[in-house]
Amino acid sequence: MIKHLIIATAMLFVFGAAAGVFAQSASLTGKSWSLTEINGKAVSGSNAFLEFTDAAKRVSGNASCNRFFGGARVGSRSMRFSGMGSTRMFCSGLMEAEEEFLDAMKRVTRYRIRGSILTIYAGTKAVLKFDSMKHDDAPEPQKFGLGDRKWLLDTIGPNEKVAATYGAFINFNPEDRTAEGNAGCNPIGGPYTAEGGKFSFMNNVASLLACQEEDRNELERRVLEAMESADRIEVFEDRLTLYRGGRVVLVFRGSDK
């Protein structure tokens, strides 16, 4: 009898702990957490925010200038981030704040939610504080699917601008999973996959004519290399970004077809 009572008590404890973790992770998701304080200093008008998805197993957001993403491990009070990556744009006047934010994210060990306030700690020190906004209440940015836009090449890597005169672009056809466009000199096209953020593309258009301008040939080589090596895709508002690992390889901006 005593043995059964001990087992039942242990099971209640395990289920109760699991329910607590689930409740806490659920309270993190479905919201955008806007930064209000960093290392004890009040913050106003910042672009920095957090979002938790996949039952709080993934985290993403903006670090002040660049988008970031990674894994999250959340307990009833503990919190750790891993595998963090980000875009690598330069924003004048924001890079110091971004560095401080990302450094704080690396040191996170636990968290606390009180009302609409999320406080994140490194040990006993509160390093980041956020206020929540439910997605239902937040202003909804205009969203586009892969097939909705003509995607014009904007940068190679995070910030190497590509002139519009090169005419490099890509169109996606989700119905037959093919993409076609121009890499700056020749047409490109072939099958692609884009599922759960993972991406692959294989160019099978045979046109390989050399352009008179050597810079166009070099652009095409780099675009094709980036397209075929990319393994992750992100569409955020009217921007399409291709990554290889955690590194940005190509950025496109949306345009009417």
Q: What is the CATH number of the domain that holds 32?
A: 2.40.128.270
Q: Is the pLDDT of residue 151 over 70?
A: yes
Write the pLDDT tens digit of every residue in 58-111.
Answer: 898 999 988 888 889 999 899 999 888 877 777 888 899 999 999 999 999 999
Q: Is the pLDDT of residue 244 over 60?
A: yes
Q: How many CA atoms lie within 13 A of 187 on its CB side?
A: 9
Q: Are residues 36 and 104 in the same domain?
A: yes
Q: Are residues 200 and 243 in the same domain?
A: yes
Classify 254 in phi/psi space as left (phi over 0), alpha (psi -120 to 50) or beta: beta
Q: Are residues 157 and 60 in the same domain?
A: no
Domain membership flag for residue 201:
yes
Cα of first residue to Cα of last residue in the chain, in angstroms, is 74
Q: Are residues 88 and 129 in the same domain?
A: yes
Confidence of residue 142 (pLDDT cuts 50, 70, 90): low
Q: Are residues 24 and 128 in the same domain?
A: yes
Q: Is the pLDDT of residue 121 over 80?
A: yes
**CA–CA distance, 21 with 121 (Å, rounded to integer):** 18
Of 134, 156, 187, the one marking the end of a domain is 134
Domain membership flag for residue 231:
yes
**CA–CA distance, 148 with 188 (Å, rounded to integer):** 19
Nearest Cα to 178, choosing from 210, 151, 204? 204
Q: Is the pLDDT of residue 150 over 70?
A: yes
Confidence of residue 206 (pLDDT cuts 50, 70, 90): low
Confidence of residue 208 (pLDDT cuts 50, 70, 90): low
Q: Are residues 125 and 164 in the same domain?
A: no
Q: Is the pLDDT of residue 144 over 60?
A: yes
Q: Are residues 128 and 30 in the same domain?
A: yes
Confidence of residue 14 (pLDDT cuts 50, 70, 90): very low
Domain membership flag for residue 108:
yes
**CA–CA distance, 161 with 219 (Å, rounded to integer):** 11
Helix, strand, coil distribution of the chain in percent, nearest 5: 25, 45, 35
Is residue 122 within 8 Å of residue 137, measured between CB atoms?
no
Q: Are residues 60 and 86 in the same domain?
A: yes
Mean of pLDDT over the chain = 84
Confidence of residue 16 (pLDDT cuts 50, 70, 90): very low
Which pLDDT does position 7 carry in this prediction? 45
Domain that holds residue 99: 18-134
Q: Which two tokens stand for residue 7?
A: 């087992």
Greatest Cα pair distance in the chain: 89
Is residue 146 within 8 Å of residue 194, measured between CB atoms?
yes
Which pLDDT does position 41 carry in this prediction? 94
Number of domains in the chain: 2
Domain membership flag for residue 97:
yes
Is residue 88 within 8 Å of residue 248, measured between CB atoms?
yes
Domain membership flag for residue 140:
no
Of 80, 112, 134, the one marking the end of a domain is 134
Q: Is the pLDDT of residue 178 over 80?
A: yes
Domain membership flag for residue 104:
yes
Q: Are residues 50 and 84 in the same domain?
A: yes
Domain membership flag for residue 236:
yes
Domain membership flag for residue 161:
yes
Confidence of residue 158 (pLDDT cuts 50, 70, 90): confident
Which pLDDT does position 40 carry in this prediction? 94
Could you identify the residue written with the tokens 């004048």? 92
Which pLDDT does position 201 carry in this prediction? 95
Of 108, 134, 160, the one marking the end of a domain is 134
